[in-house]
Amino acid sequence: MNRIDESINLHFNPKAFERRLVPESHEVAALIDSDSAKEILKELPSIGPVTYLSKLGILISDVEKDGYDYLLEQQGVFGIADAEARCEMPEPEVLESVKSHSSRDLMRGPTELFNGYEGKGIKIGVIDSGVDSTHPDLKGRILNQVNCTGDSLTGDTNGHGTHVAGSIIGGNVGVASEAEILDLRVFGTSSGASIASILMALDQCISRNVDIVNMSLGSEVPSYVLESAVNQVSTNGVIVCAAAGNSGPYSETINSPSSAQLAISVAATNASKHVARFSSRGPCRWNSWQKPDCAGFGENVYSTKNGGGYTVMSGTSMASPGVAGVAACVLQYQHEHSGSSAFVDWLLRNGGVPVGQKLDEVGCGFISLDGLEQYVGNGEKMSQMDSKKKGKNVGKRFFVDLIKCKNCNSPRTVHQIRHRKDGSLVFVVSCRACRKAPQDGKIDSEEIELQEWQHKHILNHQIIKALKRCGKCGKEGLVVVGNWEPIKVNPGHPRHSKAGVGCLYCQVKGQRKIPLNIARLWSD
Amino acid sequence: MVKTSDMTVPPSSLFDDFSRCLNLFENGGSVINLKYDSEKYSIEDLLDRTWVQKEMKLLSMANVAIPKHGCFCLLHPGILFWEEDRDDVQLLHEEE
C-alpha cells in the first residue's frame, strides 16, 4: 500500500472504533489496479452502492471496518483516502483593484500644501456626452451647457459625462470640488461624435476662456485637423487633458486627439497605481510624440451617476478627469502665487510619481496632489528630480520650453562661443530678432560662463546650437550639439529633426526628436 | 491616389493636393473640416458661404459641405489643410 490517509486510518482505528467515537461506516475512495478491479468490486463488503471510476481507477464506497480491512489487504489497492473529507474553500479575498475608490481618494492624497485648494475660480471645459446638472453633487457648479451636436436633446445622453464631471468637481468624489465646469456636449443619440462637433467645442473653450479642457474621448484613426485644433487651444494657455485610449495592452495604441503634441495624454492605473490592462500604450503610431504623458486613477472609479446617486466605471476616460482636477487645484495655487499655467502643464508631463513602469505605459508616472507638492512653491526642489527618483526613463525627458528673450520673448540661441585660456567657455546668448536689429549698434545679449569641468564631456561636439533648461537638474545648461539629422517617420508624415543633447551641469546626454520648425529656429 | 481617410497630415505636394480633390470630386463631394489662413483671408474669400455649416473662427477652422463642383476650391492657397469629417470618435470607458 503506497498511501493511506491519516484521517481515514483514525476512523478505523480499533480503539476509536471500540469507543464509538466515530460512526461505524465511512465513505472511502481507493485507488485500485484496473486488473484487480473486477474482483475487488465483487468481493468488497460494502454497505451501499459502489462507484467505480474506470478511467481514473478509483473506487468509492461506504464501508465498515471489515470493508476497510479488506481493502488494506488487497495488493491491487494502491491507496485509500477519506471520501467524506471536505476541501474548505477560503473566503473570497476582496482584491484591492476590485474595490472602488473615488478620484478624490487617490489623486489628492495626504497633501498639506494643497490642503484647501479645491480649484476655486478655475473653469474646466468638459467635452463629453453632457452632464446631469441636477445631480446634488454637481449642482451649482456647472457654468453653462453648450450643445455642439445640433440636436435638440439636453442633459447627459449616456451617463459618461456625469461620471467624468463628478471626478472633477463632485462635492464628495471630485478632486477639485470648488472648480466650475463648462458642459460641452458632442455626443448625441448615435454612438460616435463627429470631428466637427469637437472642433466647435474647442472653439467654445477659447471663446469662454476656460483654463483646462478634459477630453475623455478618442479614435484609433488619427485626425490631423483635430490634433491641430488641440495644439492651438493649448498654445492659448489652456491645459488640455485627453484620455490615452483603451486599446491596451498593445504598444503604439494611443488614440487621437490624445496623440496631439501639446495634449496631456493620460493613461489609466488601478488603485494600486499599476497600469490598467486596457490602457493604451505609447509611443504614438502616426507621429513621433512620446505618449502617454502621465497616468491617473482609472479602474473601478466611483463617481456621480446620471439621474442621481453614484456608480463605478473604468477607462482612461475616468483617469483624465482626475488629472484635470489635480491641474485645477495646482492652477489655483499658481494663480494665488503669481505662477503660470505653463508650469502646471510642465508638471503634468514631468512631475508624476514613478510607479516602476515603462514610459510607454504611464509616462512620467502617477499624478496626484501630494506627489506634486515637492515641485510647487520651492524652486530648489526642482533639482531633486534625479534619475533615481524619477525612474530610468525620465533622464531622457527634457524641459520643452526654450529660454526666451526678455525683450521680445523669442527663443534665445548661442551665437558666439569664446574660449578662455583657463579652459572655461563663455556662451554669448541672444535671440534672432535682437541680433537682426541691434540697438545703438549693440546686440542685447547675455554671457554665460562655463568652467572647464562643465563642458568637458561635450568637447567632441563643437557645434552648439541652442541652450535650454535641463529637465533633470533644472539649470539652463542643456545644449543641443551636433548637426541636425532630418528623419522621416513615415511617408506623408511630418518631418522632424533628431538632435544630440547634453547638459553642461548634470552631464545627462541623449537624443531628442525636435519638430522641424523649432529646429530651424535653433539652427540659425 | 491618396485616400482621404488615410490622410493624417496635410499633403506636401501639389500633386497630392490635386489627387485628393479629384478623389473628392469622384465621390460627388463630401463634408469636410478645413483650416484656413485667417490672417489673409476670410472664409467667404475661399468658398461659397452657403456651403459653410459651422465656422470656428477662433480656431480658423470650418465645417463645410462641399458640393461636387466645389471640390477644386480646396486647392486655394488660403486653405492650409483639410480632411473629411467623420463621426467615429468614441467615449473611452470600458463596457461592463
Residue B83, pLDDT > 60, answer: yes
Give Cα A190 distance to the centre of its chain: 29
For residue A519, give every residue at least 6 positions away whose Cβ sits within 8 Å of its Cβ, in sequence order, or none: A484, A496, A497, A499
Give Cα A220 distance to the centre of its chain: 18
Query: Nearest by CB to B90, which of A218, A223, A233?
Result: A218
Confidence of residue A390 (pLDDT cuts 50, 70, 90): very low
Q: What is the CATH number of domain A3-82?
A: 3.30.70.920
- Among A263-267, A413-417, B22-26, which is the least confidently predicted range? A413-417
- State in words which class domain B29-85 has: alpha beta
- Active site annotation includes A445: no
- Active site annotation includes A62: no
In angstroms, the separation between the Cα of residue A487 and the nearest Cα of chain B is 16
Q: Higher confidence at residue A110 or residue A81? A: A110
Chain A residues touching residue B94 (CB < 8 angstroms): 246, 278, 313-315
Identify the H or E element spanning A213: strand A212-215
Residue A446 has which C-alpha cell? 547675455
Once rounded to an integer, what is the mean pLDDT over residues B30-47? 94
* Best residue of A156, A228, A312, A323 to probe chain B, by most B CBs closer than 10 Å: A228
List chain A domain ranges: 3-82, 119-382, 412-522
Confidence of residue B84 (pLDDT cuts 50, 70, 90): very high
Identify the H or E element spanning A509: strand A509-515
- Phi, psi at A74, each rounded to 5°: -75, 135
State residue A6's pLDDT score. 65
- Could you count the other beta carbons within 10 Å of the beta carbon of residue A302? 23
* Numbered residues of chain B with Cβ closer than 8 Å to any chain A Cβ: 2, 5, 7-12, 31, 33-35, 53-54, 56-59, 61, 63, 81-83, 85-94
Chain B residues touching residue A200 (CB < 8 angstroms): 54, 56, 63
Once rounded to an integer, what is the mean pLDDT over residues A469-481? 61
State residue A35's pLDDT score. 82
Q: pLDDT tens across A83-112, in order?
A: 776 654 444 444 444 567 999 999 998 888
Q: How far apart are CA A243 and CA B28, in angstroms?
A: 35
Q: What is the CATH number of domain A119-382?
A: 3.40.50.200
Residue A468, pLDDT > 70, answer: no
Q: pLDDT tens across A191-205, in order?
A: 899 999 999 999 999
8 Å CB contact of B9 and A492: yes
Of A286, A241, A243, give the one whose Cα is nearest residue A262: A241
- Which residue type does A294 have? C
Q: How far apart are CA A431 and CA B43, in angstroms?
A: 35
Residue A425 has which C-alpha cell? 567657455
> What ipTM does the predicted assembly reach?
0.89
Most confidently modeled range among A22-26, A367-371, A514-518: A367-371
Residue A329 has which C-alpha cell? 487645484
- Which residue type does A321 have? P
Residue A398, pLDDT > 70, answer: no
* Best residue of A156, A164, A199 to probe chain B, by most B CBs closer than 10 Å: A199
Share of chain A above pLDDT 70, in %: 65
- Active site annotation includes A496: no
Identify the H or E element spanning A81: strand A77-82
8 Å CB contact of B90 and A199: no
8 Å CB contact of B86 and A245: no
Query: Nearest by CB to B8, which of A222, A246, A316?
Result: A222
8 Å CB contact of A190 and B87: yes
Q: pLDDT tens across A124-147, in order?
A: 999 999 999 999 999 999 999 999
State residue B14's pLDDT score. 77
What secondary structure does DSSP assign to A105-162, as a single string? HHHH-S-STTTT---TT-EEEEEES---TT-TTTTT-EEEEEE-S-SS--S-SSSHHH
Q: pLDDT tens across A477-496, in order?
A: 656 554 444 444 444 444 55
State residue B53's pLDDT score. 95
Q: How far apart are CA A24 and CA A64, in angstroms?
A: 6
Bridge pairing between strands B52-56 and B90-91: unpaired
Once rounded to an integer, what is the mean pLDDT over residues B67-88? 94
What secondary structure does DSSP assign to A387-455, as a single string? HHHH-GGGGG----PBPBPTTT-PBEEEEEEEE-TTS-EEEEEEEHHHHHS-BTTB---EEEEE-HHHH
Confidence of residue A431 (pLDDT cuts 50, 70, 90): low
Tell me the average pLDDT of chain A. 77
Residue A92 has which C-alpha cell? 473570497
Chain A residues touching residue B81 (CB < 8 angstroms): 224-225, 228
Chain B residues touching residue A315 (CB < 8 angstroms): 91-94
Confidence of residue A454 (pLDDT cuts 50, 70, 90): very low
Chain A residues touching residue B54 (CB < 8 angstroms): 196, 199-200
Q: How far apart are CA B89 and CA A317, in angstroms?
A: 13
Query: Nearest by CB to A494, which of B9, B53, B59?
Result: B9
